[in-house]
Amino acid sequence: MEAKKNPKLEIGRNSSIYFAIGLNVMLFLSWQALEYKTFEKDNVTIDLVEMESEFEEEIPIVNANTPPPPPPPPAAVQESIEIVEDTEEIEETVIESTEIGQDDAIEERIVDVAEVEVEEIDEDVQVAFAVIEDVPVFPGCEGLSKQATKDCFQKKVQAHVASNFNYPQTALDLGIQGRVSVVFVIDKNGHITGIRSRGPDRILQNEAERIIGKLPQMKPGKQRGKPVKVAYAVPIFFKYQDG
């Protein structure tokens, strides 16, 4: 039995060539499709612009030849010359030097001691009570020795503080207590001056200064036989007991 196919007409023999040709054709068409460009068409109206040249009128420049105003007339200067006769003689002043030279002699003068005047200066000296030669005399301490007068002075001051002592009610209400140191000065006339104090509170200080301010006038202290100021310090204790 013979085959019905024609061996010359075998289709599968060139199939690879056909496939390659078809692939190339498809690639070419795809590339053309990607590279294809389209543009929008706008209706553009082109008009003709006509411009007329602007006429500029030239203004002529006129030079005004105006003459300047005439200068003012010069002021009349009257020359007055007066001739004065030089009849007065002027004496020249000679200025002599006041410096002393080596040739100038110095006048020697012997000054007598009696001609020297010594002016006494009243010095305001303040001496402490502990080193004063003659302590101030408290009233009632007259006619005693120096040491007895000193002891009497201290006792009289303590007695004065005790008799005039008054505890401030405000300090009691606030519970203020402590020691107040009072310093005062007995001046040349025996008066009490320069009262100062230091303490725990101003209320107690005011009371201590009030007590010292009531001291009587005394006989002033003396240093080298002259009245001087004497400084004295006394402590005052403010202390209360709880009932």
Q: How far is CA 176 from CA 195, 200, 223, in A?
A: 22, 8, 41
Is 145 among the domain residues? yes
Q: Which two tokens stand for residue 243?
A: 């009932």
Is 89 among the domain residues? no
- 208-234 burial code (b ≥16 CB/10 A, e <16): bbebbeebeebbbbbbeeebbbbbbeb
Is 103 among the domain residues? no
Q: Is the pTM of this model over 0.85?
A: no
Instruction: Note the pLDDT of residue 12.
Output: 64
pLDDT tens string, the chain, 243 residues long: the values are 555 555 565 666 677 888 888 888 899 988 888 887 766 666 655 566 566 666 566 666 656 566 677 777 766 555 555 655 655 565 666 666 666 666 655 566 665 666 566 565 556 788 999 999 999 999 999 989 999 999 999 999 999 999 999 999 999 999 999 999 999 999 999 999 999 999 999 999 999 999 999 999 999 999 988 999 999 999 999 988 765
Q: Give the number of domains in the chain.
A: 1
> Any idea what the CATH number is for the domain that residue 204 is in?
3.30.2420.10
Contacts from 208-213 at CB under 8 Å and sequence distance 24+?
208/180, 208/182, 208/236, 209/182, 211/160, 211/161, 211/164, 211/165, 211/182, 211/236, 212/161, 212/182, 212/184
Instruction: Note the pLDDT of residue 125.
Output: 82
Question: Residue 158 sits in which domain range?
Answer: 126-238
